[in-house]
Structure 1
């Protein structure tokens, strides 16, 4: 069993203030494969003090020097990519090929995108060309508490840690206690790169203890949290007393709208696989498929065939398949929501309750498609966060938009149509932060985030940099 009971504080690995351990389980077996320490308020105080002390000099280090450290971290990360893939696969169940080439690679992808954005970013500029005595400065906000989730651990770490330290901030990272091993490996990369002591700190533990202490700490200037909407509300409440900046990337219930003039076979198959990607554990997964009634039966048949062809396999097996959900607790929640969908009258097209055939243990779930769903049903409104797709019929463009917007979330949306004027028209009426038309991927350095209860702020590119910067006017 891996022993990862130390924290990374002030440039060195150190013991926690109190000896409280937690096991990290492999969700494919429900057996522990690592042990970590569960931090306390004292550990947070120590890490914040180190970050506060480091901020005094790190904020004054030149951009070229800061970027040199980041490039060294990226080089080390690249050389140890296979280790990172294995860590992610063990801790949250992603199949090893996906864990390495999608999950682990995502951290490198975002780090490199930030390096490109920093080449063009101006930390000092004139308010207007005709006002040479009015200057705008973009300065680091200070000490940042970063709370990352278990579903895309390196994706989210890179979207927070890299822009924070690049802009001159210092950080205290609290990774998810479900999937902390990849973040501890990243701390090894930071240490090997020689990043000055105190710039990056890591404390493991429970959200109710470590996350709470970070969020309300008077010497933390900003909290960036990715996780559930309920968790984001708790972070906001804890941070309110000190009026610190709070950036939230929360849940989603993203619509995938298929109009009758789309290539139904291609569009629906794409939607199903995007929903099931990462075993459905993505906040922007298109879990509500809205289909024009004139092609509804065809779409349901395509969804059924696509879902039935999805393979389930062990995380340590190579190949293109789905692994387990990330934890037994999450498995139980997904099962409960599938059960609610059945009881509320949705029609199970594929999947349903229980584990797939041949899987007697672990957090494996059956990829599930529900048809004849009404948008008021629980499975159409709650974020299931598993490979569970709901198919909802609509009549006409206006009804499609109304159903799509009828949710407390507003993270992403997907539009499939041969009419590009319609695609643009609909995209502009959807209350979401991101819209993808006919499978067009998001470009590197684009903003990620949403409206409503999907959070606030944006991650990625120059928007991700500005999350960690204050704006100062100097007049004269």
Structure 2
């Protein structure tokens, strides 16, 4: 069993000054794989003070210098790509096909941001004024466990490009992958103090990060509940914030959608990352006249899904990350049954054939009451709620009847019709006739209680900027 007992501060691996720890288990086998030591507030304070001091010099580096750093990080990560993939599968249980694609995209972000940096519009000037974009300063980053490497890269790359420094609190449940990532950063010889990483819990070290006066901005990815607490903490010092929060994304099948072709994509979206994805299409809206056909097709296609060892290429659904998340999903399924939703398939207990591992049965409820807990709250597991509608006006009303507004999916044989419908959905992102977009760096973020700000390519850089006007 591996021991992780250090932070990364000022370019050095420093032992954690605490005996408090937790044990990580392989979610597929429930075998213990690592012991993780948890930091104290004083260690977070040390990292923040280091980042603040480093910003003074790093903010003055040239664009060419920062482009070279981004290239070095990319090149080092590429050398260890397979290790990063294996560790993510081991400690999180994400399927290897999903992890391989996500890892490649995450590493490539350093080249994407490097290209953006070449032509980034730092200065605009006219006869009487000069407008200048500057790095915001010290950025505190708090990231979840469901896409660790992607979130590390999507914050570090734009921050470095702008000359900012970072203090990062990753999820303690991704400690093995984070450790491998930090070893790559260290080998890439990034300037000391630019990236500092503190291992610990949100309640202890995360609180310090969001309240500290030397932290200029917070980038948080996680639940809406935690996001509200961070919003409150940041208000004390008026920190800049980027919050990418929860979702309860609708998938709308318009009357003319080709159901045979669409249902596999519906399930791909709903059960993305084994349902542990903020953008998962977990509400399926279907015309009442097509409900029976949709139910039949869902059953046919769900029975084809391969649940099992995430290391195997054919696996499409893996386990929940840990016992806590498994129990959370079970409580939602229990709630749906008790509240009278029709259970089409799945239900309580482990998936069939598994004595070990946090495998949830892929579950589908038919819901005629959109106020149910399972319809309104983010479950973060493989649970799909099907809601029938009478007409498109009602479909739009149901789609928007949520506190969330992160993603949506619209399927129709008429793309113009789908686009017209999409324009009225109150979400930060809408995918038309696909569950996965090939767009390179679209802005990502939510409306309503799904967050503040946008990330992705140039938008990530904009999020980490302050704008200064100089007048003549």
Q: Which TM-score tier does this pair reach, normalised by the shorter chain?
A: over 0.9
Secondary structure at the residue paired with 2:193?
coil
- Counting only pairs closer than 5 Å after superposition, residues 79-98 of structure 1 correspond to structure 2 as 79-98=79-98
What is the CA–CA distance in structure 1 between the aligned matches of 2:334 and 2:110, rounded to whole Å? 41
2:291 aligned partner: 296
Per-residue CA distance 1:100-137 (angstroms, 9 max, x = gap): x12322312433332232233211112xxxx3331111
Q: Which residue of 1 aligns with 2:118?
A: 119
Matched, 1:393 2:388: yes
Indicate the SS of the match to 1:7: strand
1:393, CA displacement in angstroms?
A: 0.6
Task: Tell me the TM-score normalized by structure 1.
Answer: 0.96
Look up the match of 1:451. Answer: 447
For residues 360-389 of structure 1, what are the alpha-carbon distances to aligned partners after superposition, in whole Å with 9 as ceiling and x for unaligned?
122111111112442111111010111111
**Bigger Cα displacement from structure 2, 340-349 vs 211-220:** 340-349
In structure 1, the residue matched to 2:458 is 462
Mapped to 2, the partners of 1:230 and 1:412 lie a distance apart of 18
**What is the CA–CA distance in structure 2 between the aligned matches of 1:55 and 1:24, rounded to whole Å?**
34
TM-score by length of 2: 0.97
Which residue number in structure 2 is paired with residue 26 of structure 1? Answer: 26
Deviation at 1:328, TM superposition (A): 0.6
User: What 5-or-longer segments of structure 2 have no aligned partner?
Assistant: none
2:52 aligned residue: 52
Structure-2 separation of matches of 1:309 and 1:161: 39
1:143 to 127, 138, 143: 138
- Inter-partner Cα distance in structure 2 for 1:268 and 1:318: 22
* Matched ranges for 1:200-279 at <5 A: 200-279=195-274
Contact 2:306 2:314 in 1 (8 A): no
Helix, strand or coil for the counterpart of 1:27? Answer: coil
Instruction: State the match for 1:342 in structure 2.
Output: 337
Which residue of the partner structure matches residue 437 of structure 2?
441
Residues 254 and 287, structure 1, Cα contact 8 Å, conserved in 2: yes
Residue range with higher mean Cα deviation, 49-58 or 373-382: 373-382
Q: Secondary structure at the match of 1:316?
A: coil
Whether 1:416 and 2:411 are equivalent positions in the alignment is yes
Residue 442 of structure 1, CA deviation: 5.0
Partners of 1:293 and 1:117 in 2: CA distance:
47
Q: Summarize deviations over 1:443-475 as a string: whole Å, max 9, x none.
A: 111100010110101110211111111000111
Q: How many residue pairs end up in the alignment?
A: 471
Q: Any residues of structure 2 matched to 1:418-433 within 5 Å, and which?
A: 418-433=413-428
Please tell me whether the aligned partners of residues 110 and 444 of structure 1 are also in contact (alpha carbons under 8 angstroms): no
The C-alpha deviation readout for 1:130-172, integer Å capped at 9, x for no partner, is x333111110010111001100111111111111111110001
Any conservation in 2 of the 1:147–1:225 contact (CA below 8 Å)? Answer: yes
Q: Report the 3-state secondary structure (helix = DSSP H, G, I; strand = E; otherwise coil) of the residue aligned with 1:390.
A: strand
2:361 matched to 1:362? no
Please tell me whether residue 308 in structure 1 is matched to residue 303 in structure 2: yes
Corresponding residue to 2:193 among 168, 189, 198 = 198
Per-residue CA shift, 1:267-320, capped at 9, x if unaligned?
Answer: 122111111121011100000000112222111211111111111112333433
Look up the match of 2:468. Answer: 472
Q: Does the residue aligned with 2:172 lie in a helix, a strand or coil?
A: coil
Asked if the contact 1:307/1:368 (under 8 Å) is kept, the reply is no
8 Å contact from structure 1 (residues 88, 104) kept in 2: no
d(CA) in 2 for partners of 1:285, 1:316: 22
CA distance in 1, matches of 2:258, 2:95: 30
**1:355 deviation in Å?**
0.5
Of 173-182 and 222-231, deviating more is 173-182
The 8 Å contact of residues 257 and 291 in structure 1, kept in 2 or not, is answered as yes
414-423 or 384-393, larger mean C-alpha shift: 414-423
CA distance in 2, matches of 1:421, 1:319: 36
Secondary structure of the corresponding residue to residue 104 of structure 1: helix
Query: 1:356, CA displacement in angstroms?
Result: 1.1
- CA–CA separation in structure 2 for the residues paired with 1:181 and 1:121: 35
Distance 1:309 1:60 in 2: 56
Q: CA deviation at 1:30?
A: 2.6
Moved over 4 A (4+): none
Q: Give a deviation string over 1:339-369, Cα, whole Å, max 9, x none.
A: 1111111111121111112211221111111
- The Cα offsets for residues 403-437 of structure 1, whole Å up to 9 and x where unpaired, read as 00000000011111122232121111110000111
Distance (whole Å) between structure 1 residues aligned to residue 129 and residue 244 of structure 2:
34
Assess, with a 3 A threshold, how the Cα gap between structure 1 residues 97 and 429 changes in structure 2: closer, same or farther: closer
